[in-house]
Amino acid sequence: MSHLTGKVAIVTGSSKGIGAGIAERLAADGARVVVNYSRSAETAAVVVRRIVVAGGEAIAVKADLSKPEQVAPLIDAAVKTFGCLDILVNNAGVYEADSLDTLTAETFDAHFHLNVRGLLLATQAAARVLRSGGVIVNISSGLAKSPYPMVHVYCATKGAVDTLTRSLGMELGPRGIRVVGIAPGFVATEGNAESAKGMTDFLVAKTALGRVGQPKDIAAAVAYAVSDDAAWVTGCTVDVAGGMVF
């Protein structure tokens, strides 16, 4: 497939997991991709290498989106390297278990500074250069609608993301820019391998299609969201969870 040929995409937090899957799928569909990472240059380089070996174009750019001063340089890098920006996938996020006994002001800030403020500031910076026909995809979670008490703050951030998807879709719609949310269910990634230990059977039992999701499942939904087939879709969040009821 090459329906994204000529397009430029940034996928935040794409050195591994869902983000890496999204970056590779968009590249396979023809987009030139910025693989964003905040810590490991090595893992980001692996994703870039896989894209290039498969015939695509990609670069890795370091930026910690929880730090406001690092947001604009990420957007600038895409424009400087590839000449424009058409797609922003807000995937970067932090997930930590908490409870009323364990959460702190610091853990609250860590979640909201990246999952919400970072997403909004990245969207703000991208919106300054996105052309008509551009698309912003916000990676949410099924936990936004069905929260669990052991992840209060994370759930709250994803509820905020869903709200922003709606309000940003309304603001950017007149410019021909769409904003679409994708809410994954339980997906097998490096990040949740430890946190989900012992819970896989429980979570699969709550999933109508009876299996754990894979990054490629989410990537396929993002590929649809940024395609012309979704030209009438904006301001909403789509569940991509195998029918899971959290």
Q: Which residues are catalytic?
A: 154
What gap in Å lies between CA 196 and CA 179, rounded to an integer? 30
CB contact set of 111 (below 8 Å; sequence gap of 6+): 94, 96, 153, 154, 156, 157
Residues 113 and 68 sit within 8 Å (Cβ to Cβ)? no
Tell me the backbone φ, ψ of residue 126, rounded to 5 degrees. -65, -40
Task: Name the one residue in this structure whose structure tokens are 């703050």.
Answer: 153
What would the two tokens of residue 107 be? 């853990």
Q: How far apart are CA 222 and CA 66, in angstroms?
A: 23
Q: Which phi-psi region, left, alpha or beta, contains residue 35 (left: φ > 0; alpha: ψ -120 to 50)?
A: beta
Question: Both tokens of residue 111?
Answer: 């979640």
Answer yes or no: are the C-beta atoms of 47 and 22 closer than 8 Å.
Answer: no
- Rounded Cα distance between 38 and 191, Å, is 14
Element (H, E) at 221: helix 215-225
What distance in Å separates the CA atoms of residue 9 and residue 228, rounded to the nearest whole number?
Answer: 15
